[in-house]
Amino acid sequence: MSAKLFLASSNAAKLGEFRALAAAAGDVPCWEVEAIPGFETLPAFHEEAPTFAENALGKALHYSRLVAGLVFADDSGLVVPSLGGAPGVHSSRYAGERATNRERVEKLLAALREKQGSGRAAHFVCVITLARGGRALALVSDRVDGRILETRRGAGGFVYDPVFFYEPSQKTFAELLAPEKNEQSHRGRAFRKLLAFLASSAF
């Protein structure tokens, strides 16, 4: 028997990642991750809050008022303490609204050009909120620590993955196979916390 979770996002890559995480979990009941039907036609939620948690919560509450069922939303990004926490909640807009992934990485590398050692320390953060009918049911989060390399390595993953070096694997996130990344990533860790909450609750 399966139950549905609706993802408040139009990002196909993110949807695929959450589906893979749900399939790998093997929980009972099995949770099917689906896109919200007609997502693009619904009033948009603008992520303008200063924290990952506020953006994830606002997004989940917004879309849960527009569709029936359990809705979850995530906000995630890269945090570099030596840059005052940038790119942070602006990770996807760091080099401008229409910048390419390459341009975002180039801006990050330029900002870190004079920094070495601990100055290149970074972590990915993911916050996930679950809501239904305009009511928040859960908020979970996790992070993974690493450092920013001076050049790209690997062709997989999301925006900053080719320069995010994960020490335990001695690889960038872009060099990890999908199952490896799902096991180690901030999004994977946070989503497994959400699944644990669902497993312990009656829905």
- Active site (catalytic) residues: 75
Contacts of 12 (CB under 8 A, 6+ apart): none
